[in-house]
Structure 1
Amino acid sequence: MPYINLDGIDLRILNALQADARLTNQELADRVGLSPSPCLRRVRRLEREGFIRTYRAVLDRESVGLGLTVFVDIKVEKHSRENAASLQEALAAMPEVVACHMVSGSADFIAEIVVSNLKAYERLLTEKLLTLPMIGDIRSNFALSRVKSDAALPLTHLKREGTRQEPDC
């Protein structure tokens, strides 16, 4: 893994943008203690180097009619690189799957799915998930309430000032 080359100002920029990506460059510069031109150069560098991947609005799920969140444990039928890759591709193509992770333990993948209601999940399950030949088992866990979601990444493990930092291994 490459060195992480962030200084204290970079970290302040990243934290400020995670809190509010709609800040103008002037507002961001004021918050991090820079003039606008160097601030914009740093933001562009952070984007170019992949620290900032994208900007988007986080919508309220219930307000847009997506009131059911389901965490789905998925086991691959016959473990192979091809089956895992095919499943990843299929899950990534489903707009209802808002997050998916390959995991260790009793499941091979955990997918976070958002749909309007139980009937919509039943349709997704029977018409999409259960038709995938590489799936051996599916376990559905229904979210009763959301405690925390869409949180900013904690950057406290990175050095605050100065030099390059190697990630913990």
Structure 2
Amino acid sequence: MPKFELNEIDRKILDSLQRDGRMTNQNLSEEIGLSPSPCLRRVRSLEDNGVISGYVAIVNPDAVGLQVTAFIRIRLDQQDDSHLASFETAVASLPEVMECYLMTGESDYQLRVLVGSLVEFEDFLRHKLTRIKGVSQVTTSFALRPIVYRTALPVMAKR
């Protein structure tokens, strides 16, 4: 159950802002059919309640020389709380790691890593990732090309 109950107007606001986070309040209010003052109050409420956690620019990885996407599955030698916490702290400090998930199944973690080349990936693997205490197995798959990549959550989807 969500912490904050969204109504239809909230969903429209979220949908619009996910498409254009730089949209003015005036344009947002016109797009969703609400006057500017109540629209701004709704946006502030969504921010204050943690539904909107921030605003970012989405950068094209190719444009900044990050052409290699690797999905890495990690197995630790021990899965107790202290080893999990230690790994999570270490991996969170690596700027190449775009996402890290604690998993069920054969691996303990799955990472999405962005680097500029296979040489950079080898350096990341040999000098950073495998040097984290407790890492016992690393399995990597490389993305050939993205098919679907979304940053917007499906807030307008029927539930």
TM > 0.5 fold call: yes
Kindly provide the amino acid, as one letter, of the partner of residue 11 in structure 1.
Answer: R
Q: 2:49 matched to which residue of 1? A: 49
How many residues are aligned here? 158
Q: 2:148 matched to which residue of 1? A: 148
1:149-168 correspondence to structure 2 within 5 Å:
149-155=149-155, 156-158=157-159
1:1-169 correspondence to structure 2 within 5 Å:
1=1, 3-155=3-155, 156-158=157-159
- Over aligned residue pairs, what C-alpha RMSD do you find? 1.2
Deviations 1:11-70 (A, max 9, x none): 100010111111100000001111111111110100010100110011111110000000
Q: 1:165 matched to which residue of 2? A: none
Kindly provide the amino acid, as one letter, of the partner of residue 76 in structure 2.
Answer: V
Identity of aligned residues (%): 39
Structure 2: unaligned runs, 5 residues or longer: none
Please list every run of at least 4 consecutive aligned residues from structure 1 whose deviation after the TM superposition is greater than 3 angstroms.
1-4
Q: Say if 2:4 and 2:51, in contact at 8 Å, map to a contact too.
A: no
3-state SS, counterpart of residue 17 of structure 1: helix
Moved more, 3-12 or 139-148: 3-12
3-state SS, counterpart of residue 88 of structure 1: helix
Kindly provide the amino acid, as one letter, of the partner of residue 117 in structure 2.
Answer: N
3-state SS, counterpart of residue 91 of structure 1: helix
Q: Say if 2:87 and 2:134, in contact at 8 Å, map to a contact too.
A: yes
Following superposition, the deviation at residue 157 of structure 1 comes to: 4.2
Deviations 1:72-104 (A, max 9, x none): 000111121111111111111111000111111
Kindly provide the amino acid, as one letter, of the partner of residue 41 in structure 2.
Answer: R
Q: TM-score, normalised by structure 1?
A: 0.90
Structure 1: unaligned runs, 5 residues or longer: 159-169
Kindly provide the amino acid, as one letter, of the partner of residue 82 in structure 1.
Answer: S
Distance 2:142 2:122 in 1: 12
Distance 2:93 2:150 in 1: 21
Distance 1:157 1:71 in 2: 31
Deviations 1:98-129 (A, max 9, x none): 01111111111000000000000100101111
Distance 2:74 2:47 in 1: 34
Distance 2:150 2:82 in 1: 31
3-state SS, counterpart of residue 66 of structure 2: coil
Distance 1:3 1:39 in 2: 21
Q: 1:163 matched to which residue of 2? A: none
Q: Higher relative CO (CA 8 A, sep ≥ 6), structure 1 or 2?
A: 1
Kindly provide the amino acid, as one letter, of the partner of residue 130 in structure 1.
Answer: T
